[in-house]
Every structure is written in C-alpha cells, then in structure tokens.
C-alpha cells in the first residue's frame, strides 16, 4: 500500500466522560463515557484515513495494555503501524477528558508515559520521501525535525499542528509548508494579540498556508493569494475534543486532492463540525460523502 499521508507525534488512549459540569473538589455522576485512541497527529491521520486517504502513523508506545489498544485502534481505522516503535517495559500515553454536557467544552489531563521520545535514527528516510504529506504535532520533536528535513529535501509537503509551545517548535514552524496554529499558540509564539498580524508573522517563514483556528469563531488563513476568513459551521455541539485534530487531518486530505485553499478550509471546517456532534475525538469523524452532503445542505 502506497502511503499518502503519515502523521508523526503523540498517540494515547483517551478516557472520556460527559458530566453535568466540570467538578472542582466535589463529586458528579457521569452521564456517558467512552474509551478510544487520541493524540493530535494520531487523530489527524485517522481522520484522513476515514475520508479515504492511505495513511500511517509514526510514534512510540510502550508494550503495555494501553499500547496494544492504541495499535488496535489504528488497525481498525486502516492506519499503518509498521513504523510505530514499541518500547519494552515502558508505559504508553493516556489522557482523561471531562466534557461539560451543556457547552461541549472540556478539560483534559494527560500523561506522556515513559515510552517517549521515539528514536529518530529508526525513522526510514525512504518511506518518508515516498509520501505526499507529512503531518506533525510538535511532539517527539527530535524525530519530527529530522523527518521534516528529509521530507523537505524530497519535495514532500510538511504540515504542522502548532498547538503547544514545545522545545524545538520554532524549527518545525520554519520547516513547515502548512502551519496551522491554535489561537493560544499564535498569540504566544508571535507576540501579536491581533490574529491577522499573528497569521502574517507565521506566513513570513515561506508558507503555502498559515492559519489560526479559533474554535467557534472560525479560522483565519493567509496564502500567497491573500487573506481568507471562514466562520465556523453551526451544529449542535456535544463534545469539542479532537475538533482541531480532525480539522488538520481533513485539511491534509483535501490539500493532496489538489483543491484550492478556500475549498480545503470549507471541507476541513465541515469535517470538524460534524465530529463535534458526538462524544469522543474520533467517534464522530465522518466519511467523505457525509462531509460533501453536509456542505451541500449548508449551501
């Protein structure tokens, strides 16, 4: 199978529950709960796979029960795991998510486990050079930098989910062709309170696309053809967990189809909106036809 999109970064198992409100020094009864795979780059490639792309994930897990479930989750979604590193005697990453029933907003606590970081020397440069797009989330930074350098040298598009200020993130920003940042990251990294100015600073590093996602406020993007603003699609929100990750995966899928940026942003926004109608970062990820029909109805 010729892999088109590979994600490199963080993968975990998420323990999610919907609660009446986020508890502080009190007990609340769970309304519903769910256990499934998570992680920014991991969920992005699951999204791209569900939409129809051939995908794989590069990262690291322990040889524990959590690691086995992470791998099973990828296999169920037809995401290749041949390049996933498994470390003996190490613990895999986990996250606990509380989702407020009324708003769909969530709080997350997580542990990276003891398996990270991945061994940069074990990444196969021949595999990387065969891709259409490499998607990074800033985690496993040493391996991400080396892999991005290989991708760039071989004409592979490098996409970055800039969500957290991590050591080495400035190098990855510089290496990325597509840099999509969270609102928090954009302001902190650029020092600009104005989002449009922040996008301009991200774009100045030679991007095809620089963008900032702002949740329910939509997205602002800059391309060589100018500034694009998109409102978020209105849907009945159940859970926003993973919405940004899904946006990245859908944009990566759309971009390698050769669509223009405006269409890519619409497609990614619709995919993320549909996801928000269900509990879990992956549960609500739609297939391609559902997104196309959603966009037709929205006009």
Nearest-angstrom CA–CA distance, 235 and 97? 21
Share of the chain above pLDDT 70, in %: 100
Residue 77 has pLDDT above 80, yes or no: yes
Nearest-angstrom CA–CA distance, 141 and 12? 17
List alpha helices for 154-260, DSSP H: 169-175, 183-190, 195-203, 243-256
pLDDT-based confidence at 283, cuts 50/70/90? Answer: confident
Residue 299 has pLDDT above 80, yes or no: no
pLDDT-based confidence at 1, cuts 50/70/90? Answer: low
The mean predicted confidence, pLDDT, of the chain is 95
Q: What is the CATH number of the domain that holds 253?
A: 3.40.1190.20
Over the stretch 193-242, which tens digit does the pLDDT of each residue have? 999 999 999 998 789 999 999 998 999 999 999 999 999 999 999 888 89
Domain membership of residue 276 as a residue range: 5-298
Nearest-angstrom CA–CA distance, 186 and 192? 8
Buried-exposed string 173-184: b where 16+ CB fall within 10 A, e elsewhere: bebbbbbbbbbe
Residue 75 has pLDDT above 90, yes or no: yes
Helices 183-190/195-203 angle, 10° precision: 70
> How long, in residues, is the chain?
299
Nearest-angstrom CA–CA distance, 220 and 10? 26
pLDDT-based confidence at 280, cuts 50/70/90? Answer: confident
Over the stretch 105-149, which tens digit does the pLDDT of each residue have? 888 898 999 999 999 999 999 999 999 999 999 999 999 999 999
Total domains in the chain come to: 1
Task: State the average pLDDT over residues 241-256.
Answer: 96
Over the stretch 161-185, which tens digit does the pLDDT of each residue have? 999 888 899 999 999 999 999 999 9
Tell me if residue 133 falls in helix, strand or coil.
Answer: strand
- Pick 253 or 281 by higher pLDDT: 253
DSSP codes of every residue in 29-88: --SEEEEEEE-HHHHHHHHHHHHT--EEEE-EEESSHHHHHHHHHHHHTTEE-TT-EEET
Q: Do 250 and 47 contact (CB within 8 A), yes or no?
A: yes
Over the stretch 23-68, which tens digit does the pLDDT of each residue have? 889 999 999 999 999 999 999 999 999 999 999 999 999 999 999 9
By DSSP bridging, strand 226-230 and strand 219-223 are antiparallel
Nearest-angstrom CA–CA distance, 207 and 198? 14
Residue 159 has pLDDT above 80, yes or no: yes
């Amino acid at each position: 199978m010729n892999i088109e999109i590979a994600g490199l970064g963080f993968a975990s198992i998420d323990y999610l529950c919907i609660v009446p409100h986020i508890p502080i020094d009190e007990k609340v009864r769970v309304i519903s709960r769910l256990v499934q795979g998570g992680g920014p780059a991991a969920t992005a490639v699951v999204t791209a796979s569900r939409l129809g792309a051939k995908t794989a994930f590069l990262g690291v897990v322990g040889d524990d029960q959590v690691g086995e479930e992470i791998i099973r989750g990828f296999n169920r979604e037809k995401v290749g795991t041949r390049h996933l590193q498994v470390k003996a005697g190490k613990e895999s990453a986990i996250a606990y998510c509380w989702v407020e029933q009324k708003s769909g907003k969530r709080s997350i606590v997580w542990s990276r486990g003891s398996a990270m970081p991945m061994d940069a020397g074990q990444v196969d440069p021949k595999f990387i050079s065969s891709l259409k797009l490499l998607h990074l989330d800033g985690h496993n930074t040493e391996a991400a930098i080396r892999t991005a350098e290989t991708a760039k040298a071989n004409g592979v598009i490098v996409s970055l989910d800039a969500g957290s200020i991590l050591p080495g993130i400035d190098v990855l920003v510089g290496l990325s062709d597509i840099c999509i940042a969270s609102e928090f990251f954009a302001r902190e990294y650029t020092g600009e309170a104005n989002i449009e100015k922040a996008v301009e600073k991200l774009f100045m590093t030679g991007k095809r696309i620089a963008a900032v996602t702002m949740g329910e406020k939509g997205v602002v993007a800059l391309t060589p053809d100018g500034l694009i603003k998109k409102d978020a699609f209105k849907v009945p929100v159940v859970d926003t967990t993973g919405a940004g990750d899904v946006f990245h995966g859908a944009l990566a899928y759309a971009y390698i189809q050769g669509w223009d940026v405006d269409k890519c942003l619409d497609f990614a926004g619709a995919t993320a909106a549909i996801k928000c109608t269900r509990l879990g970062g992956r549960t609500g990820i739609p297939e391609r036809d559902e997104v196309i029909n959603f966009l037709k109805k929205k006009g």
